Amino acid sequence: MSVWLIFMLFILSGIGAFFAASRLAYFGDAVKEKTTATSAFMGMLIGVAISLPELTSSVTSIIIDAPDLAVGNLVGSNLFNILALAIFDLVYRKHQIMTHATVESKLYGWLVILLTFIVLLGLILPVPAHLFNVGYTSIGVILIYAIATKWINERTEYKGRKIKRKPKRYKEHSFRQSIWQFILAAAAIMVMGSILTITAEEIATITGLGASFVGSFLVAISTSLPDAVSVGTALKMRNYNLAISSLLGSNAFNLIILAFTDIFYIRGRLLEQAGPSNLITGGVSIGFILLIIYSISRRRAQPAWSYMLPSSLIVVSYFVTTYFVFAMR
């Protein structure tokens, strides 16, 4: 396969994921309208769906024996997701979108921090013991995610009964049509994710940039395009909480993907094969989430300069982190 063809496939698959994600957010909102689901719950569901490129990308990385690419992709995707949210926050600064987020969105943020911390422990500590070739850190991530999301969703369902439903905007689509369109968009995103990974591994080899850097930034940005588009679409519809909760839900599910990828990696414990640059990426992502939670917690309208400060700090820090990871490649 020629070099130009590899780069062309990479770009085209990224564009395909971009357009599929906009349909995903649109029909996700339609499903929410036609059911009793709240924005926080649908945000979590959309978050799972837009994480499908990361799922297919990481599984494909294991199949082609590129474990560092798998870890870097997922941890890097979480970092880029928060960058995208920060950029949208700056663009929509007049609406101060973070003040519209619910307590459930904040809880998803704390869940992402906890799961990321467990992953970082798995990267730092040598844990030789494992169950059926699966690291104990991965088992912990899966159990905590299952328990926490159940508890958060129960809170959401309870409060959702008190929410006044808005006028219907999707009368031209039936519930069945909305569900099928949502599923088709999710399937298209999965296909694009596989192509992105295979071509990215080739790009890492051709350019000599290394799997860690390519996974943390090049693949992560590409597979996170659906997340960014989904958030942008939700914001255009002025569904601010859906945008925030879908992105945080995607970050939490990305770490579950990392845990399940460990199950498929039969050559040992997945995190042992990851490069040290993932520690920087993961640690910085925790700092980013803390800044997002701080923004959500400020319920009163803020002066423009004060409101924009956390998101501006995230944007600057992202490019500084990119430089350091590039230097470690």
**pLDDT computed for residue 168 by the predictor:** 62
- Mean pLDDT across the stretch 240-246? 80
- Amino acid sitting at position 285: S
Range with top average pLDDT, 158-172, 190-204, 289-303:
289-303
Please, what is the average pLDDT of the chain?
Answer: 77
* pLDDT beyond 90 at 329: no
**pLDDT computed for residue 31 by the predictor:** 72
Go through the domains of the chain in sequence order and give each one's CATH number: 3-160+174-327 (1.20.1420.30)
Q: Terminus-to-terminus CA distance in the chain, angstroms?
A: 25
The whole-model pTM stands at 0.75
pLDDT tens column, 7-46: 888 888 878 877 776 677 677 767 766 665 555 566 566 6
* pLDDT beyond 90 at 114: yes
Between the alpha carbon of residue 134 and those of residues 56, 85, 122, 252, the distances in Å are: 19, 33, 12, 19
* pLDDT beyond 90 at 266: no
**pLDDT computed for residue 192 by the predictor:** 77
**pLDDT computed for residue 96 by the predictor:** 85
**pLDDT computed for residue 163 by the predictor:** 43
E strands, the chain, in order: 130-131, 134-135
Percent of the chain with pLDDT over 90: 11
Range with top average pLDDT, 21-25, 130-134, 232-236, 279-283:
279-283
**pLDDT computed for residue 315 by the predictor:** 93
* pLDDT beyond 50 at 160: no
Q: How many DSSP H helices and E strands does the chain contain?
A: 13, 2
